[in-house]
């Protein structure tokens, strides 16, 4: 398995710093050298740590750039989360590329990070050398397919129907529902993800409100860079039909991969198969 080697790598060399972008401090980490790959985390209310060490697998041939979105993780948390808009989040991504001296990058967005990546692709097309959209959707115009225990379903209802009262409230509620996001949940993996994450209940609350108007269906056909679209066959929240399959059908020439043994986290559940496909796609960009 890749994971044991990557766990050692994650504890090894990584450059961490903050960049002042749009008047805020954005926390970021870079691993490896080569063409830049900018990885956008989901949530919101989470941070970039759940993506590591997995995407460090790309660091053999690329500079992998992780960061915490404005209002999330170790980046600046504003007094007023109305400042956290899709325009702002996409602008922050462009600003981080400027800070690191990159004219363009491959942008990878997972889950909510995929919403930001779509917006970035539409508003900053000149900054893209490739786009990977993982377990995301172009619009929330469908019903999720979640199922679980009575406790899990109660937590899911709470998460999507009422504001989180605090970071701790969000952490507890998120950890109650996260097993439903995996096809084969490993409690040890869940515990490791939880221990690394700096939660923001206010970011989660604000992010949900932004989705009320999120819709890229008319804009996706304008994306002209190579695009890799990923779904998990049993993903209950970003279902493949209204998600990956619909996105791939709208973006000209998009490469689609549905991972049959995965739900929302194919890069964890089917790590080897996932990175074999992603590596091959990245190699084809050169």
Q: What is the pLDDT of residues 88-127, one digit of tens each?
A: 999 999 999 999 999 999 999 999 999 999 999 999 999 9
Q: What is the pLDDT of residue 286?
A: 74
- Tell me the three state secondary structure of residue 47: coil
Q: Tell me: pLDDT of 44 over 90.
A: yes
Q: Tell me: pLDDT of 1 over 80.
A: no
How many percent of the chain have pLDDT more than 70?
Answer: 95
For the chain, what is the mean pLDDT? 94
Separation of alpha carbons 208 and 191, rounded Å = 25
Greatest Cα pair distance, the chain, in angstroms, is: 50
Domains of the chain and CATH, by start = 2-283 (3.40.50.1820)
This prediction has a pTM of 0.95
Q: What is the pLDDT of residue 3?
A: 46
Separation of alpha carbons 167 and 31, rounded Å = 28
Q: What is the pLDDT of residue 11?
A: 41
Separation of alpha carbons 150 and 117, rounded Å = 34
Q: Tell me: pLDDT of 10 over 60.
A: no
Separation of alpha carbons 36 and 50, rounded Å = 20
Q: What is the pLDDT of residue 8?
A: 40
Q: What is the pLDDT of residues 207-229, one digit of tens each?
A: 999 998 999 999 999 999 999 99
Of the candidates 210, 200, 140, 150, the residue with the CA atom closest to the CA atom of residue 180? 150
Q: What is the mean pLDDT of residues 185-199?
A: 96
Q: What is the pLDDT of residues 45-70, one digit of tens each?
A: 999 999 999 999 999 999 999 999 99
Q: 158: exposed, middle or buried (C-beta count within 10 Å: 0-12, 13-18, 19+)?
A: middle
Q: What is the pLDDT of residue 14?
A: 79
Kindly indicate the confidence band of residue 271, based on its pLDDT and cuts at 50, 70 and 90.
very high
Q: Interior CA angle at 108 toward 105 and 111, to 5°?
A: 155
Separation of alpha carbons 193 and 87, rounded Å = 28
Kindly indicate the confidence band of residue 154, based on its pLDDT and cuts at 50, 70 and 90.
very high
Kindly indicate the confidence band of residue 166, based on its pLDDT and cuts at 50, 70 and 90.
very high
């Amino acid at each position: 398995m890749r994971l044991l080697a990557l766990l050692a790598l994650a504890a090894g060399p990584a450059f961490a710093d903050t960049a002042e972008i749009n008047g805020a401090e954005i926390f970021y980490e870079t691993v490896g050298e080569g063409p830049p790959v900018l990885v956008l985390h989901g949530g919101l209310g989470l941070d970039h740590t759940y993506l590591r060490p997995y995407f460090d697998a790309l660091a053999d041939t690329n500079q992998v750039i992780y960061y915490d979105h404005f209002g999330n993780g170790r980046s600046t948390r504003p007094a007023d989360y109305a400042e956290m808009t899709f325009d702002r989040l996409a602008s922050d991504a462009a600003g981080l590329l400027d800070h690191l001296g990159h004219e363009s990058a491959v942008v990878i967005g997972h889950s909510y990070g995929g919403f930001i990546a779509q917006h970035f692709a539409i508003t900053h097309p000149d900054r893209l050398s490739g786009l990977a959209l993982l377990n995301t959707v172009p619009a929330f115009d469908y019903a999720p397919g979640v199922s679980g225990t009575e406790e899990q379903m109660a937590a899911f209802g709470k998460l999507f129907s009422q504001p989180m009262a605090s970071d701790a409230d969000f952490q507890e509620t998120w950890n109650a529902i996260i097993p439903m996001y995996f096809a084969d949940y490993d409690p040890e993996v869940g515990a490791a993800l939880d221990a690394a994450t700096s939660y923001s209940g206010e970011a989660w609350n604000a992010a949900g409100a932004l989705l009320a108007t999120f819709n890229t269906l008319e804009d996706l056909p304008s994306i002209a860079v190579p695009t890799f679209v990923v779904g998990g066959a049993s993903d209950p929240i970003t279902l493949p039909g209204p998600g990956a399959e619909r996105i791939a059908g709208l973006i000209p020439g998009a490469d689609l991969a549905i991972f049959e043994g995965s739900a929302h986290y194919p890069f964890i559940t089917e790590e080897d198969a996932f990175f074999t496909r992603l590596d091959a796609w990245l190699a084809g960009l050169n």
